[in-house]
Amino acid sequence: MTNEITTVGSELQLSATTSRRINSSLESLFSHPISTSSHPNDEYESLMHKLTSMSSTRDVSKYMIILIGLPAAGKSTVSGHLIKFLKETNTTLNIRCQMFNAGDVRRKEKTLQIAQDETEDIFDPKNSDRREEFAKVAFNSALDALNNDKCDISIFDATNSTKQRRKYLFNELRSFNHSLNSKFVISPIVMHITCSDKKFVRYNVHHKAFNADYFDKQYESSIKDFARRLTHYYTQFVPYTEDEFDHMHSNCLYDNHHGIFYFHIANAGSTATTNIIKYSNMASYDTVKLITALDHFTTNYAAMFGKQYISKVKSFTQFSKVISSNHYNFSNALKELSRLKLLRSVIDDNYFKKLPRFYEINRILEE
């Protein structure tokens, strides 16, 4: 794992940007006529209180971690590990984290039905607008939690699989940071989770068959449905590249106090990746502590958490391990073996060959 750490922006540029932000806020304040029903001094004191309050709270560090990654890549698992890591690390143990999952919003709206045709399949590309609405609800909840000081870091857990979606998110953060009604300035942190190991994908799909979407469904229908869902996502997914990061960086770096940051975990940390860290000149000490912790987390993820996961995958994919793990329960062993054979027949090598741009999306070369 390598990383790139830079401090960017001159005092002149930052001063000009800060001036523009203050002027924009003042224009917003005085864009409406002063009410004649109240005393001018009361109006003035109210405005000054709002400005003073905005200035004091905007120095507090707030962050949104935007996850990027396909289903069954391990996003939610990594997020759980990250929250655990931050709570157990001395420099970050007081940071409050909350996770906001777009899938949870969808599940609250309606219980998933196994689609019989494309009109019923919410994951079909033709129905992307419906998924966008669920994602926006989760994203806005993440913003509200930060703005109401319910957490210091909100983790937006969604695939965020297209440039259009990601552009929308960064534009919304930019608007939020410029808004006079925003109590804090939020710095975006991109965390990219990829999985190109076929054994890992099969293992993750297996566990998806037991999540809230499929709690009342048969195992076979569950994995077939999820395999179809994964195929839909691969047809739409646009990999997040350094060029996109640079474009986002050039457009919005000066819209927040601390900088913008990119972290990447691939194959449970077993594949080398690159982190990109760009601080602004106004980055706080708290920000530096957090970003240093995140860099350590992603760089050492395999040793801290990934090795346990990899060990479970190896045990799961070996028939002998399945039998030995159920030594005193042969009926359960037979059930697990039957599921493993079925999984391998659905998520086989031919399935991966048909997945659109499987190796390109996961940034590896087929051996």
Output the DSSP codes for 233-244. Answer: HHHH-----HHH
Q: Select which of 195, 213, 225, 255 is catalytic.
A: 195
Pull the structure tokens for residue 192: 């990219």
| Spatial distance between the Cα atoms of 156 and 142, rounded to a whole number of angstroms | 7
Q: Select which of 157, 197, 225, 255 is catalytic.
A: 157
Q: Which of these, 82, 149, 68, lies nearest to 363 by C-alpha position?
A: 68
Asked if 144 is an active-site residue, the reply is no
Pull the structure tokens for residue 82: 């990250």
Beta strands in the chain (DSSP E): 2-8, 61-68, 97-101, 153-157, 185-194, 259-266, 274-280
| Spatial distance between the Cα atoms of 87 and 83, rounded to a whole number of angstroms | 6
- Chain-centroid distance of CA 45 in Å reads 41
For tokens 């099969």, the residue is 202
Asked if 97 is an active-site residue, the reply is no
Residue 159 · residue 361 · CB < 8 Å: no
Task: Give the type of residue at 280.
Answer: S
Taking the CA atoms of residue 83, residue 88, residue 89 and residue 95 in that order, the dihedral angle to the nearest 10 degrees is 50
Q: Which residues pair with 185 in a beta bridge?
A: 61
Residue 323: in which H helix or E strand, if any? helix 319-325
Q: List residues with catalytic annotation.
A: 157, 195
